[in-house]
């Protein structure tokens, strides 16, 4: 199959996850209303306008990348913690870790006349570490904040590239673009070869990039600085955990006197991060 499987918002998370782990990607059309997209863009507008263009060809010299969404936009929570998205992420990453966490949040605005981004794998951010070939450590998502078309640079994906050798980034002939309407999302594995498309239109193409990673790996966007405790303590508990303010595994991520970081946010004191049975907080999508 040389295409990206497409689903509706009523699709079970298990089916979306199956597409991610087999084909490498899945599109869910119109997962959020256009009005929700517009609220996000309204809240982030001043920050996007103040963001400089990328400094190299990979980042995009006519592209801006604006982060720290949890601290800057209330509407971003509806994307970052969408139940269907987290359900799929949980099914993909859950078998490999006690917990998973937010990896990055970023609005990507690709300007007119921008060339295509070089094809790559997102998990290469971990210093090109050779994870086991069939192991998923990351799930990436791109939300369409404008209609995604071939002309304006819809994300390029190589289906069935999960196990391909590194040299397959040269297989431009296999690329399929994630054409989809505003409010839709494409989810893909960190093992999937992909890249931003060339914007040959006369308008900026905007997207929201939200990625998730195993709880024992370092986050690409430092959430503790992008969304520090003074900001995070006002977020819903589920969002706090997703941002990384929870135990990543037994004895992983505690604060000072072996406290659960969630206790720090709530103002509690003297609360051990380790339960009497040695348990830690469950995976975010499971409660």
CATH of 6-221, one of 2.60.40.1180, 1.20.120.80, 2.60.120.620, 2.40.10.340: 2.60.120.620
Q: How many CA atoms lie within 13 A of 253 on its CB side?
A: 27
DSSP string of 152-174, one letter each residue: TTPPEE-TT-TT--GGGGG-GGG
**CA 204 – CA 144 distance, rounded (Å):** 12
Please write the tens of the pLDDT for every residue from 76-88: 999 999 999 999 9
Quote the pTM value.
Answer: 0.93
Q: Is 271 exposed, middle or buried (0-12, 13-18, 19+ CB in 10 A)?
A: middle
Please write the tens of the pLDDT for every residue from 164-210: 999 999 999 999 999 999 999 999 999 999 999 999 999 999 999 99
Residue that wins the pLDDT comparison between 111 and 283: 111
Q: Is 53 exposed, middle or buried (0-12, 13-18, 19+ CB in 10 A)?
A: middle
| Location of each CATH 2.60.120.620 domain in the chain | 6-221
């Amino acid at each position: 199959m040389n295409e990206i499987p497409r689903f509706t918002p009523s699709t079970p998370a298990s089916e979306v996850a199956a597409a991610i782990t087999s084909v490498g990607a899945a599109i869910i059309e119109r997962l959020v209303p256009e009005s929700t997209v517009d609220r996000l863009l309204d809240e982030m507008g001043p920050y996007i306008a103040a963001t400089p263009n990328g400094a190299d060809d990979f980042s995009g010299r006519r592209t801006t990348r604006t982060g720290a969404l949890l601290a800057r936009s209330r509407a971003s929570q509806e994307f970052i913690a969408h139940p269907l998205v987290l359900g799929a992420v949980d099914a993909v990453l859950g078998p490999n870790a006690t917990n998973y966490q937010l990896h990055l949040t970023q609005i990507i605005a690709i300007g007119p006349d921008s060339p295509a981004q070089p094809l790559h794998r997102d998990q290469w951010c971990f210093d090109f570490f050779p994870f086991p070939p069939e192991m998923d450590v990351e799930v990436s998502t791109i939300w369409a904040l404008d209609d995604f078309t071939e002309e304006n640079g819809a994300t390029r994906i190589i289906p069935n590239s999960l196990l391909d050798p590194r040299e397959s980034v040269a297989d431009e002939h296999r690329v399929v673009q994630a054409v989809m309407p505003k409010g839709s999302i494409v989810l893909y594995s960190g093992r999937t070869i992909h890249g931003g498309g060339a914007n040959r239109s006369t308008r900026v193409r905007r997207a929201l990039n939200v990625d998730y990673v195993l709880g024992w790996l370092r986050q690409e966007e430092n959430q503790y600085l992008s969304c520090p405790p003074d900001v995070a303590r006002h977020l819903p508990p589920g969002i706090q955990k997703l941002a990384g303010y929870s135990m990543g595994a037994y004895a992983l991520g505690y604060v000072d006197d072996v406290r659960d970081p969630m206790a720090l946010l709530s103002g509690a004191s003297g609360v051990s991060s380790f339960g009497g049975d040695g348990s830690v907080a469950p995976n975010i999508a499971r409660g």
